């Protein structure tokens, strides 16, 4: 085993050395990292003996969890926060909505959405009133498009990218159909490179320009789910606006991953989920952003009825992005000001800003888990996280490019990196495409040694070092396991190993 100060980039000793210098390393202890035994366990209760013999591995070791792009790990403090929620519910019942316990980590339930908005705002670079924590991602995309997609006879198209996440396709096509327009109203931007799914900024700008006169809305991903590419949000947003087009962003893979400045960039609207890099738990509550310029304070006092001439005037612009206030087209009681919610007089008085888009009282369970996780993010700050992320992900790309044990495999084109390599063009995810017929065996081999990554059939492995809980040793252990997995997969496929 290499010495602690070993400077051989490819050694485990060097990985330990790098981690020892990481100023964020103690945040790893804030998370529950499943052990190899945990991943194998068949019961939730820890009753089984941990198998120390199988595969010669120590089953009490932490797994190599590189799947925060799909489901982030559980922060330890989540249990404390949730226990408080359960205790409040258990001891106060309905009064939990209003009870201010002296030792509570969150405000009473009736205000918890405001706490969530305040906590998420710095992570997406927004003013507190520009964000709302609510619903789930696809639902929020629909709610936002209901307000922002106001097709007219002159401008009715939606531009999106061809390889967008399926739910975005469904949402966009169904919005177009809902307004009575044909599928051909959706303009799909093809990847500039079909093999890597890379979208050049220029090709996006060119498509926008080509359809500018007839386009009502653009919806794009901040970070692409498949390739891990980070799009140039400010440049594309500015270009859309120069043509008078409203633009929204699906930030599922960007939030908590890369620093965002939604307010400063003038983004019209955005939506995200909280179960990936935000670590709020499977299917947890989503969030949305509506730029201040669209509600501008007026909405507090002025109510524009949905479908009214005033609203069409405000939203159905033909030449420029909306400047008149946009109110939620679809409404619910939680979007109405607190003072009016229980008045029961059926007068909708919109909350200030994005909060007006809320429909229902939010799941306090979800909000509590989100607040637990966001408290860690806001301790660290996105800039520090990003700095570590660039090192980890850039380092992983470098190792994949020059790991000695994979030299022959690389030469033979056994794998290629789909993710753009420049730091400014990716977040924490590296997508690796394998030669045909290798994916299943590579995944099996990785799983066998406790490396958790995810696959996109038929040939892509996605690997995401999340800087809050992953370190260089995880990257090293992944590379070590990946080398073995690739060699084994080739041996099984070809009957011998060429590496």
Ligand X SMILES: Cc1ncc(COP(=O)(O)O)c(C=O)c1O
- Residues forming the annotated binding site? 137-138, 165-168, 250, 253, 275, 333, 361
The pattern of x and - marking residues 91 through 120 that bind ligand X according to CB under 6 A reads: ------------------------------
| Residue 269 half-sphere exposure toward CB, CA atoms < 13 A | 32
Distance CA 402, CA 395 (A): 11
**Which range touches ligand X (CB under 6 A), out of 15-23, 60-68, 162-170, 456-464?**
162-170
* 169 within 8 A of 183, measured Cβ to Cβ: no
Distance CA 467, CA 263 (A): 25
Among the listed residues 148, 97, 397, 438, the one whose alpha carbon sits nearest the alpha carbon of residue 271:
148
Does residue number 363 form part of the binding site for ligand X (CB under 6 A)? Answer: no
CB of 122 to ligand X, least distance (A): 22
Quick one: 228 or 350, whose CB is closer to ligand X? 228
Does residue number 165 form part of the binding site for ligand X (CB under 6 A)? Answer: yes
* 256 within 8 A of 122, measured Cβ to Cβ: no
Total number of residues that touch ligand X (CB under 6 A): 13
Does residue number 252 form part of the binding site for ligand X (CB under 6 A)? Answer: yes
Structure tokens at 87: 């205790």
Quick one: 136 or 185, whose CB is closer to ligand X? 136
Annotated binding site for pyridoxal 5'-phosphate: 137-138, 165-168, 250, 253, 275, 333, 361
One of 31, 156, 225, 415 touching ligand X (CB under 6 A): 225
CB of 135 to ligand X, least distance (A): 9
Alpha carbon dihedral 104, 107, 109, 110, in 10-degree steps, equals 150
Quick one: 252 or 466, whose CB is closer to ligand X? 252
CB of 191 to ligand X, least distance (A): 15
Q: Which residues pair with residue 398 across a beta bridge?
A: none
Quick one: 136 or 229, whose CB is closer to ligand X? 136
CB of 381 to ligand X, least distance (A): 25
Count other C-beta atoms under 10 Å from residue 61's C-beta. 15
Quick one: 59 or 165, whose CB is closer to ligand X? 165
Which residues 6+ apart lie within 8 Å of 348 measured at CB?
303, 331, 335, 336, 340
Count other C-beta atoms under 10 Å from residue 294's C-beta. 24
Residue 57 CA: distances (Å) to CA of 63, 222, 373, 449, 452? 11, 39, 31, 8, 16
Does residue number 257 form part of the binding site for ligand X (CB under 6 A)? Answer: no
Burial of 451 (0-12, 13-18, 19+ CB in 10 A): buried
Chain mean position to CA 375: 17
Count other C-beta atoms under 10 Å from residue 425's C-beta. 17
Quick one: 36 or 453, whose CB is closer to ligand X? 453
Any long-range contacts for 85-93 (C-beta under 8 Å, 24+ apart)? 85/364, 85/365, 85/368
**Which range touches ligand X (CB under 6 A), out of 86-94, 132-140, 262-270, 389-397?**
132-140
Structure tokens at 361: 């009282």
* 25 within 8 A of 471, measured Cβ to Cβ: yes
Quick one: 167 or 435, whose CB is closer to ligand X? 167
CB of 270 to ligand X, least distance (A): 12
Quick one: 286 or 467, whose CB is closer to ligand X? 286
Distance CA 243, CA 214 (A): 10
CB of 480 to ligand X, least distance (A): 29
Quick one: 225 or 472, whose CB is closer to ligand X? 225
Does residue number 230 form part of the binding site for ligand X (CB under 6 A)? Answer: no
Does residue number 129 form part of the binding site for ligand X (CB under 6 A)? Answer: no
CB of 254 to ligand X, least distance (A): 9
Does residue number 273 form part of the binding site for ligand X (CB under 6 A)? Answer: yes
**Which range touches ligand X (CB under 6 A), out of 113-121, 172-180, 245-253, 296-304?**
245-253
The pattern of x and - marking residues 137 through 156 that bind ligand X according to CB under 6 A reads: xx------------------
Residue 494 CA: distances (Å) to CA of 3, 489, 498? 37, 8, 9
Does residue number 258 form part of the binding site for ligand X (CB under 6 A)? Answer: no
Ranked by CB distance to ligand X, the top (closest) residue is: 138
The pattern of x and - marking residues 188 through 207 that bind ligand X according to CB under 6 A reads: --------------------
Distance CA 220, CA 236 (A): 10
Quick one: 128 or 456, whose CB is closer to ligand X? 456
CB of 286 to ligand X, least distance (A): 6
Strand, helix or coil at 448? helix
Distance CA 142, CA 156 (A): 16
Residues in the site for ligand X, rule: CB under 6 A?
136-138, 165, 167-168, 221, 225, 250, 252-253, 273, 286
């Amino acid at each position: 085993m290499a010495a602690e100060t070993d400077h051989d980039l490819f050694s485990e000793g060097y990985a330990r050395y790098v981690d020892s210098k990481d100023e964020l390393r103690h945040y790893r202890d804030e998370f529950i990292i499943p052990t190899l035994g945990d991943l194998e366990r068949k019961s939730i209760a820890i009753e089984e003996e941990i198998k120390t013999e199988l595969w010669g591995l120590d089953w009490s070791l932490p797994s190599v969890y590189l799947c925060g792009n799909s489901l982030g790990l559980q922060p330890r403090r989540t249990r404390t926060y949730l226990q408080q929620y359960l205790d409040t519910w258990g001891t106060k019942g309905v009064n939990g909505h209003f009870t201010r316990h002296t030792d509570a980590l969150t405000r009473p339930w009736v205000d918890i959405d405001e706490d969530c908005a305040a906590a998420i705002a710095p992570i997406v670079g927004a003013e507190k009133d520009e964000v709302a924590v609510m619903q789930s991602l696809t639902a929020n995309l629909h709610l936002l498009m209901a307000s922002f997609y106001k097709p007219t006879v002159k401008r009715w198209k939606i531009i999106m990218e061809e390889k967008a996440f399926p739910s975005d396709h469904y949402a966009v096509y169904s919005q177009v159909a809902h307004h009575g327009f044909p599928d051909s109203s959706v303009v799909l931007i093809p990847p500039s490179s079909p093999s890597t799914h890379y979208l050049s900024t220029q090709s996006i700008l060119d498509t926008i320009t080509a359809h500018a006169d007839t386009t009502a809305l653009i919806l794009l991903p901040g970070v692409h789910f498949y390739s891990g590419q980070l799009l140039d949000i400010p440049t594309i947003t500015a270009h859309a606006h120069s043509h008078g087009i409203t633009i929204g962003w699906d930030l599922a893979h960007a939030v908590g991953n890369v620093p965002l400045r939604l307010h400063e960039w003038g983004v019209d609207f955005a939506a995200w989920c909280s179960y990936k890099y935000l670590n709020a738990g499977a299917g947890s509550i989503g969030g949305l952003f509506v730029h201040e310029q669209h509600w501008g304070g007026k909405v507090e006092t002025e109510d524009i009825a949905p479908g009214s001439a005033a609203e069409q005037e405000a939203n159905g612009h033909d030449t420029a992005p909306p400047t008149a206030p946009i109110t939620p087209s679809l409404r619910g009681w939680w979007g109405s000001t607190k003072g009016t919610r229980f008045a029961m007089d059926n007068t909708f008085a919109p909350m200030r800003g994005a909060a007006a888009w809320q429909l229902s009282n939010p799941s306090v369970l979800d909000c509590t888990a989100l607040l637990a996780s966001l408290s860690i993010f806001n301790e660290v700050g996105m800039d520090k996280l990003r700095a570590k992320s660039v090192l980890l992900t850039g380092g992983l790309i470098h190792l994949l490019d020059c790991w000695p044990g994979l030299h022959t495999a690389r030469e033979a084109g056994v794998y290629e990196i789909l993710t753009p390599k420049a730091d400014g063009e990716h977040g924490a995810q590296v997508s690796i495409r394998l030669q045909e017929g290798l994916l299943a065996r590579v995944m099996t081999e990785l799983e066998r040694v406790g490396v958790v990554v995810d696959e996109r059939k038929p040939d892509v492995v996605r690997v995401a070092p999340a800087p809050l809980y992953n370190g260089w040793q995880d990257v090293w252990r992944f590379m070590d396991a990946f080398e073995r997995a690739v060699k084994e997969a080739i041996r099984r496929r070809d009957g011998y190993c060429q590496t």
